[in-house]
């Protein structure tokens, strides 16, 4: 079920390094953990050289709680040192949504657990 706006989006844009050690398993773990947090709504992710992952959250407090997750903190530290040559995080408020995204918002369905 699609959430009603307003809600929040965390937009993570990245360029990967060539280091693969634990990247995929850590990414998969974080996706599963994020789903357990109150306020997590959905995630979309794509990578074709440039990676873009957008996670959607009920409110800023939910994002703040996720930012304090120990595994998430460790992954961010490791990511900036090993996995990414460049990255950016943006947090935005979604005021409205239109279109026909019903299949995209299937219960906690995400397009991929990437970007890898």
| 7-94 is classed CATH 3.30.590.10 | no
The predicted pLDDT at position 1 comes to 59
Count other Cβ atoms within 10 Å, centred on residue 102: 9
75-79's contacts with Cβ under 8 Å and 24+ in sequence apart are 75/26, 75/27, 75/30, 78/22, 78/26, 79/14
Q: What is the pLDDT of residues 15-45, one digit of tens each?
A: 999 888 888 999 999 999 999 999 999 999 9
Q: Is the pTM of this model over 0.75?
A: yes
For residue range 45-92, list pLDDT tens digits in order: 998 889 999 999 999 999 999 999 999 999 999 999 999 999 999 999
């Amino acid at each position: 079920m699609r959430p009603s706006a307003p809600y929040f989006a965390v937009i993570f844009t990245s360029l990967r390094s060539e280091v693969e050690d634990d990247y995929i398993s850590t990414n998969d773990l974080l996706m599963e953990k994020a789903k357990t947090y109150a306020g997590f709504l959905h995630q979309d992710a794509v990578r074709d050289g440039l990676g873009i992952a957008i996670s959607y959250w009920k409110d800023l407090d939910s994002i703040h709680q996720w930012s304090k997750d120990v595994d998430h903190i460790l992954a961010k530290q490791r990511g900036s040192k090993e996995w990414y040559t460049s990255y950016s995080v943006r947090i935005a408020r979604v005021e409205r949504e239109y279109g026909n995204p019903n299949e995209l918002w299937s219960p906690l369905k995400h397009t991929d657990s990437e970007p890898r």
